[in-house]
Amino acid sequence: MEYFIIGGVSLLTAILTFFSGFGVGTILTPVFVIFFPIEIAIAMTAIVHFLNNLFKFGLTYKEINKSVLIRFGLPAIPFAILGAWILVSLSKDNLLLASFNLFEMTFEIYLIQLIVGLLMLFFAIAELYPSFKKDTIKKSHLFIGGIISGFFGGLTGHQGALRTMFLIKSGLSKDAFIATGIAIACFVDVSRLSIYFGKVQNIDIEENIGIISVATLCAFVGAYFGKMLLKKITINTIQYIVSLLIGIISVLLIFGII
């Protein structure tokens, strides 16, 4: 049953998130948690997320905007490492603000997730205003965007949404927006996973290689279909998808559900 559910979610999520540039890890982790302990679920999700990004990179690399990649991606790398190092160095108990029970499950609200969630919610609401939709980010500000998304990506793992909030305003075409975002995601994944590995290496992944393979292959299929559907979708549609997902994820973060 877990193969069918996790594979199906991986497939559908990969199709949807191909356009938004984020969401695979956010959606897939809770599904893995249903069947596996949290530390194993996080490790397996990280593997699927990284391999799927590499696959998408192979599908889209020709459309990468090198200027944006350098201005945004390079500063993201050291700050992703810094954020990941802080994460593994701090005690989570020191960052816990509150907890509550719902449907016999305990949810915990942490300071960092709350900050990121509020930041994302602000951008999601701002997207409702026409004047904000027309605004574009200057190239000089991409450096700042890379620092913010890289740092919080390393610290919380939610680098995709923050990255997308900046790139969607950078004036890129839909193809360049998706391809450049994927390339930056690969950079940040390598950076933060190099730090996370110390916590994950003691987990026996080999015994779960079957479910990891199924989830990864389904994500590959989903990404391939997402690439095929890209021709029929406009940049405005992508903006609406991004705004919707950012709004949903921000609320889930604020209330400690993810």
Question: Which pLDDT does position 235 carry in this prediction?
Answer: 67
Question: Which pLDDT does position 197 carry in this prediction?
Answer: 62
Specify the residue for token string 């790139």.
167
Give the number of other CB atoms < 10 A from CB of residue 200: 16
pTM: 0.74
Question: Which pLDDT does position 140 carry in this prediction?
Answer: 67
Q: Where are the beta strands (DSSP E) in the chain?
A: 96-102, 105-110
Question: Which pLDDT does position 39 carry in this prediction?
Answer: 62
Give the number of other CB atoms < 10 A from CB of residue 73: 24
Query: What is the mean pLDDT, run by run of 10 residues, along the chain of 258 residues?
Result: 87 83 76 76 79 91 90 86 75 66 74 76 68 59 83 72 77 86 83 64 68 92 88 74 76 76
Q: How many whole angstroms separate alpha carbon 176 and alpha carbon 238?
A: 13
Contact between 13 and 27 (Cβ < 8 Å): yes
Q: Report the DSSP beta bridge partners of residue 108.
A: 99
Q: How many whole angstroms separate alpha carbon 182 and alpha carbon 22?
A: 9
The three-class DSSP label of residue 168 is coil
Residue 30 structural domain: 2-254
Contact between 258 and 252 (Cβ < 8 Å): yes
Contact between 158 and 248 (Cβ < 8 Å): no
Q: What is the DSSP letter of 157?
A: S
Longest dimension (CA), the chain: 53
Question: Which pLDDT does position 126 carry in this prediction?
Answer: 67
Question: Which pLDDT does position 218 carry in this prediction?
Answer: 93
Contact between 84 and 196 (Cβ < 8 Å): yes
Of 149, 232, 161, the C-alpha closest to 188 is 149
- The tally of domains found in the chain comes to 1
Question: Which pLDDT does position 91 carry in this prediction?
Answer: 53
Contact between 218 and 11 (Cβ < 8 Å): yes
Output Rg (C-alpha) for the chain, integer angstroms: 17
Q: What are phi and psi of 107, to 5 degrees?
A: -115, 135
Question: Which pLDDT does position 38 carry in this prediction?
Answer: 65
Q: How many whole angstroms separate alpha carbon 245 and alpha carbon 234?
A: 17
N-to-C CA span, the chain: 23
Of 148, 154, 103, 150, the C-alpha closest to 122 is 148
Cβ-Cβ contacts under 8 Å for 108 (sequence gap 6 or more):
96, 98, 99, 256
Q: What is the DSSP letter of 20?
A: H
